[in-house]
Amino acid sequence: MRAVIRWAGDALFVAESGSGHTVVMDGPPEAGGRNVGIRPMEMVLLGMGGCTAYDVVSILRKARQDVRDCRIEIEAKRADSPPQVFTSIHVRFLVRGKGLLAQQVERAIRLSAEKYCSASIMLGKTADITHEFEIVEAD
């Protein structure tokens, strides 16, 4: 895996992933940013969310669950002093499908958190990560 990050002036950086995708990152205005890109630590949370969402949907599909949508909402707190690591992260899953079994959703979340999602496992070294889920029945 590789990444290239290029400084674009002020607090603006353009990052390119090894797969060729580009993301603009910027600092907050009070730190010289222009608010034209995502903050780097927001990217960390997005990465974790994408990682666990992928896992949960994949695990549910392999369990032959009729999952139709998955939305994840994340709330996080960081330490007050540098390096301001994440200290708590709460992940809320809203999973929509037809006849989804709660025990299968719970199992998928647990497997992602404990075995498959490397981003969650790394962040769990400094943060207390909690989970909850809601199942929404599809029409």
Residue with tokens 């607090």: 11
Tens-digit pLDDT profile for residues 78-93: 999 999 999 999 999 9
CA dihedral 120, 121, 126, 131 (to 10 degrees): 50
Tens-digit pLDDT profile for residues 31-53: 999 999 999 999 999 999 999 99
SS3 sequence of 27-50: CCHHHCCCCCCECHHHHHHHHHHH
**CATH code of domain 1-38:** 2.20.25
pTM over 0.95? The answer is no
| 3-state SS, residue 113 | helix
Q: Which CATH superfamily is domain 40-137 in?
A: K homology (KH) domain (3.30.300.20)
- Decide whether 1-38 matches 40-137 in CATH topology: no
- Structure token digits, residue 88: 């708590």
Q: Where are the beta strands (DSSP E) in 65-125?
A: 66-78, 86-98
Q: How many CB atoms lie within 10 A of CB 7?
A: 9
| 3-state SS, residue 126 | coil
